[in-house]
Structures are given as C-alpha cells and as structure tokens.
Amino acid sequence: NRTMPLARPTGQIPDAAWTSGFREMTEPWKGAVGCLGVAVFFAMTIGIISWQALEQSPEEWVLRGRAGGMLWERRRGALLLRALPAGRTVAVIAVGGVPAAEPPPPRDRCWHDGGQFCYAWEEDAELRLSLEPPPAPATECYGVRWTPLRPDVMLKDCFSMANVSWYGGASIRAQRWPLNGAESHAQPFVSGDFSKNPAGYGPVLERYFLGSTGVTVTVAPDVPLFLSLESNRHFCLETPAGRAAVPLRYLLCVSPDVAAAHRHHKVQTPWLFLPCRSPIWRYYGPAGSAAKIKRGLRSLAKRLKRHRLQEGVLALGEHCTAILAAAVRPDHVPSEQRKRHDPTRAWDPSVVKPLQLSITLSPYASIASPLFLRSLRDGEAESYWLSLQPRFGGCSVPVLTTWKGRLCARLNVTSEAALSWYLARAQRLQQALGATYMVFEGAEGNAFLEQAVPPPAELMGDRYTRALAAALATLGNATVISAGARSSHLPLFVQMSPLRSDWSHAGLKGVIPSVLHYSLLGYNFFIPDAVGGSLASDTPGDPELYVRWLQIVTFLPVMAFSTPPWLCCDAWVLNLTQQCIQRHQDFVVPLIIKYSEEWLSLGYPIFRPAWWLSPTDPTAFTIEDEFLIGDEV
C-alpha cells in the first residue's frame, strides 16, 4: 500500500505573527536612537552657544568714522577710541555712574543718524556719541555727552594710562612730565595757591589733555569739573552729583601722532609781545618804612652796578608796595598824619636808576584796612567786593577769605565799576612810583568754593581768574599775573609758583616739567621762580644747586633772582652769572622772539618737548629733563 507522506512545515511564518514580533523587538532600539539624537542636538546647541560666547569679540562698534571709531568693551564697561586702518587703540575710557555689566545694544536710539550713537541706562544716565567737524584733514573728532537722569548720579570717565603718556590739564606742587607719575584725589578743577593747599591744583590749568597716542581730550568750559590722578593707572573726569547735576561733555580727537594732535588743537590767536631782556632782582631788604625801603633799594642798586649788573628790574613784593603806596598817596594816610606828610620826599624814582622798578598788587583788601573800611562807610562794599546775596531780603555780606595770614575781602570782578576803580588805582600808583612792571598776585582760586559756598553762575570754576586776566590785559604788556585759565592768548606774563631750594620735583627737578607744561597750554611768556628756589629747604646755600638752576633759567623768557650770587656763592659763580645774563640777552631772547612769531601764526609752543621731533619714539614720551626752543636748541 502506498501511503501518502506527511506534509512537512514550509518554514513560512504567518504575516501577522512576523509583524507583531518585529515591532516588539525593534521598539526599544528606536527609543534609544531617538534619545541619542536629542542628546546630540542639545550637546551641539550648548557647544555652539559656548563657542559663540568664547569666540565672539567682547568689543562692539558703536560709532564709526572715516579714520577711526568708538567701540564698547563689554568686559570692563569701557569706551575704546580706535584709529583705522591699523586698528590701534588710542584711548580706553572706563565709565562710571552706570552699570558696567549692562552693555549698549547693537541698535541705538539715533539709528536714523549715521553720525551719532545714543543709549540710555534707565534711571541712571544717557550716552550720546557724535562725529564732529575735524580741525584738520588728518584728524577725526568725536563728541561725548553723558547726561544724568537722576540728581544723585555722579558721572565719571577714567582715561587709562596703560601704554599712554598724558600731558596738560593741571599744574601740581611737584610737577611731572608726563602726568602719569602724579597723584591727586578728586577735587574741583580750579586753579589754586600751593601755599594754601599744597595737595591742590596749581595756578595754571586748562581743560585740555594730550595723549602720546595722538589723542586729545578737551572738556567743555561750562561743565563743573572734578579731576583725580591715580599714578600710572588713570586720570578721571567727574561731574558732581546734586540737584544741579549737569551733563559731562568733552571732545575726543585722534591724529596720526602726538605732535600732529597738538598742532591741530584749536587755540585762540595770541598777542605778540617781547620777553624781558633784563634780569629781575627781588628785593628782600629792610621793609619797616618807606625810608628803609628807599635805602635798601639804593644799596641793592649800587651793589648791582658794582658787579656790572646794572641792567635789570628791582621787584618789590606786595608788603613793600603797600608801604610805598601809603607814603606817596595822601588818601591812604590817616588824617592826623596828612599835615606832616610830604609825598615828594617819600619816594624818588631816580633812586633805582638805571634799573627799572616792579611793584606787586593783589585783588584782596584786609578787613582792617582803610580801603575796605572806607568802602563800607560809603556803601560800596557790595559792588567792590565779592558778596553773598541773602535768600530772604536784607543786606549782602562780603565773602571773607584769608590772604597771607589776614582776613580779607576779594575784588568783585563781575562789577564794571569795581574793575574800573581797581585798574585806575593801580595805574595811579604805577605812575606815582615810576614803576615799569606791575605784578598781580592772588588771581587764582575760587573764594566761594574755599568757603564751601556755591558760586554764582558768572563765577563758576575759574571764571574769576579769566575775568581778572582780561581786565589786567588792558594795562599793557608789562603786566604780570599769578594764574592762567583760558587766558593764554592775552598779553600777560605769568608768574610761576615758588619752588623749594632742593633737588626734588618740588624744586630743581620741577623746573623743566613746569616749563613744558606751561608752554604746552599756551603760556609761553612766564617768569620762572628765582634761581636757587625761593622756598627754604633743609640744605640752603648749595652752590651746585644754584649753578644748575642758573644754567636752566638762562634759556627761559626771564631770569629772576632772589638771592644775589655774591651772597650765596664764590666769585666764580658771580662771573658765571654775568656770562649767563649776557648769553640770555644776546642769544636766547632773539631766539624766543623768532619762535614767538611761529606761535602767533601756527599756535606751536615755543618751548617744546623731545617728542616734538620724534613723535613716535616711546623713549621721547617720558623725557622730563630736556626741552627745545623751537626746533633749533
């Protein structure tokens, strides 16, 4: 019998069973792959963000010009001024008064104007940058304006000294060149008297700073300004906080180098006048009466003639001038003495011939003086002297301050009547004494700020010094003033501050830095302190110090002496003094006159730093013991 074979399984799996089983086997793998993809995506996102955070530049252009531009640096919260095309940073300005961690956005409120950038830190301050017309084709300028949005916001911009040497600004007690080595706490940017405040700023200052990278900073004249200097770190411009908070405004200009930057700095056209060929001999003899002064001057004149130094100027201080003024002007003598007073015998100008005479005045009057008491009696105190106006009616009260140890009132330079009276009085005295030169001390400072009293608008900052200088300039070019602020264009000699009789920066080492500082700010016709210094030191009468000082002063506009060479040193120093005076008259004065014409036409300083000839040499930026007269000596 044939039997049928049993059917064998074909090995095929039913479709439903296969699909169901495969899904069950692959679901875990698909989930794992999906999770892995999401993880990779997040890792890539984090990596890209991290890369952008690390690689993205911390600097951002906020305003760009033709030759440079302004950037914002996020890390420090600073403005950068950068020159193109080299991309060199010429100034770093750390900003204060606003949150440094909050950077300006790429967009700005002045986006419609390509020449401006605006941004506001809410409730703090507003920043406005603008392109300004340049003074020369190779220079580009940017206006910076910070506006406080709350009364308690103090605006503060600090200019870094890293890799930049800074010049200009304020004179200090121990003058440095450049300013990087100076130190000063924040204080009003107002001229001052070192004898009153040795840590304050000196008698000559301007709102102009020059950087060795070719940048200039010029602060607006109407901004109440504080300045601080932190040695080798930065200098800071500040505006005080308060109800009357005003914007901080200044102009930044960048040029190819430091010399070009200063050449392109705009200055008022100066007057041309001649330096003093004759040396100045300061009188420190007997001063108890007019007769003693007369004898002392006659004796000094004879000694100078004996030593063949008969060409010169005998300079009287303020005390001696006041004694002679009382002697030659009967209106200054008490009435009971007038009958015995004979002005023809009190003073004879021929006493000092052939030498000339210099007298000294100041805008101060002691409250015990007949002059001040007469003004009170005549009801002229308010117009003649600076006064405080009462808030609720009543009489004004003169602002009292100290001057040479006395309580004094100060001339009101905002009154035309007071200025006319003061100038007429000075001219009468000059004529009565036969004086060639008049020196006016005490022009520096702000009497209101000294008493912590807000000054009136017309006397803010250094406006007193400027107004007095403008009035004194009408007396002629034989007038000397003790301070300068926005007055370098006037035909006035500026008397430098007294220096110590030593080798420090407060003494001999400060002479050349002061010369460079004064000349850079436009005060080329100055009278340096007396040879050897006029302030006592621990080692008086050092012949070597006297000689070194003499050699420097020979090449300055005026030679001044307080200690005659025959009193301090041996005979050879006297001979050297004669030679130096002759060299000054024959060689230096003609050279100064030559370059004063260049100063008049181009505004270039007469006394120039070493970098004037090498404006890109870093070594030249810090040379403080050399100077040039023009481009020759």
Q: What is the DSSP string of 169-221?
A: EE--SS--SSGGG--EEEEE-----TTT-TTS--SBEEEEEEETTSEEEEE-T
The residue count of the chain comes to 633
Tokens of 307: 């030593």
Q: Which of 206-215, 334-343, 586-595 has the lowest mean pLDDT?
A: 334-343
Mean pLDDT of 430-449: 93
Tokens of 542: 């050092």
CA pair distance 613, 609, nearest whole angstrom: 8
CA pair distance 260, 178, nearest whole angstrom: 18
In whole numbers, what is the pLDDT of the chain averaged over residues? 84
For residues 453 and 467, the answer to whether their CB atoms sit within 8 Å is no
Tell me the β-bridge partners of 386: none
ω into 565 cis (within 30 of 0): no
What predicted TM-score, i.e. pTM, was given to this entire model?
0.86
CA pair distance 220, 252, nearest whole angstrom: 11
More confident residue, 62 or 548: 548
More confident residue, 352 or 177: 177
- Model confidence at 393, in pLDDT bands (50, 70, 90)? low
CA pair distance 519, 70, nearest whole angstrom: 31
Tokens of 35: 């999770």
CATH 3.40.50.10440 fits 496-633, yes or no: no
Query: Residue 8's pLDDT is what?
Result: 38
Query: Residue 236's pLDDT is what?
Result: 96
Taken in order 360, 552, 191, 463, the sign of the CA dihedral is: positive
Residue 553 in this model has a pLDDT that exceeds 90: yes
Q: State CA 395 to chain mean position distance.
A: 37
More confident residue, 317 or 55: 317
3-state helix, strand, coil in the chain (%, to 5): 35, 25, 45
More confident residue, 234 or 269: 234
Q: Is 543 exposed, middle or buried (0-12, 13-18, 19+ CB in 10 A)?
A: middle
Query: Which helix (DSSP H) or strand (DSSP E) does residue 258 occupy?
Result: helix 258-263
Tokens of 146: 């910070």
| Phi, psi angle pair for 162, to nearest 5° | -65, 115
DSSP 299-310: HHHHHHHHTT--
CATH 2.30.30 fits 59-263, yes or no: no
For residues 218 and 250, the answer to whether their CB atoms sit within 8 Å is yes
CA pair distance 121, 103, nearest whole angstrom: 9
Query: Which helix (DSSP H) or strand (DSSP E) does residue 131 occupy?
Result: strand 125-132
Q: Give the pLDDT confidence of 114-173 residue by residue, as tens digits.
A: 788 988 887 788 899 999 998 888 899 999 999 988 888 888 999 999 999 999 999 999
Query: Residue 574's pLDDT is what?
Result: 92
Q: State CA 583 to chain mean position distance.
A: 33
More confident residue, 471 or 112: 471
- Model confidence at 371, in pLDDT bands (50, 70, 90)? confident
In this structure, the dihedral spanned by the alpha carbons of residues 374, 377, 383 and 388, taken in order and rounded to 10 degrees, is 110
Instruction: With H, G, I as helix, E, B as strand and everything else as coil, classify residue 383.
Output: helix
Place of tokens 């200098």: 235
Residue 50 in this model has a pLDDT that exceeds 50: no
| Phi, psi angle pair for 10, to nearest 5° | -80, -10
For residues 81 and 94, the answer to whether their CB atoms sit within 8 Å is no
Tokens of 294: 């007369």
CA pair distance 628, 633, nearest whole angstrom: 5
Sequence spans of domains, the chain = 59-263, 280-495, 496-633
Mean pLDDT of 427-433: 93
Mean pLDDT of 429-455: 92
Q: State CA 102 to chain mean position distance.
A: 32
CA pair distance 633, 623, nearest whole angstrom: 16
Q: Give the pLDDT confidence of 578-624 residue by residue, as tens digits.
A: 999 999 999 999 999 999 888 888 888 999 999 999 999 999 999 99
Strand order of the β-sheet with 437-440 is 526-527, 493-495, 479-481, 437-440, 356-361, 313-315, 280-282, 560-561
CA pair distance 519, 607, nearest whole angstrom: 6
CA pair distance 523, 483, nearest whole angstrom: 10
More confident residue, 403 or 4: 403
Amino acid type, 544:
E
Closest CA to 327 of 290, 297, 361, 374: 290
Tell me the β-bridge partners of 205: 170
More confident residue, 333 or 461: 461
- Model confidence at 6, in pLDDT bands (50, 70, 90)? very low
CA pair distance 482, 484, nearest whole angstrom: 7
Query: Which helix (DSSP H) or strand (DSSP E) does residue 421 occupy?
Result: helix 416-433
Q: Which of 108-122, 317-331, 407-421 has the lowest mean pLDDT?
A: 108-122
Strand order of the β-sheet with 125-132 is 116-121, 125-132, 140-148, 248-254, 215-219, 205-211, 166-170
Query: Residue 57's pLDDT is what?
Result: 61
Tokens of 380: 């002229």
Residues in Cβ contact with 356 at an 8 Å cutoff, skipping those fewer than 6 apart: 278, 312, 313, 314, 435, 436, 437
Strands 364-366 and 356-361: unpaired
Tokens of 566: 């025959």
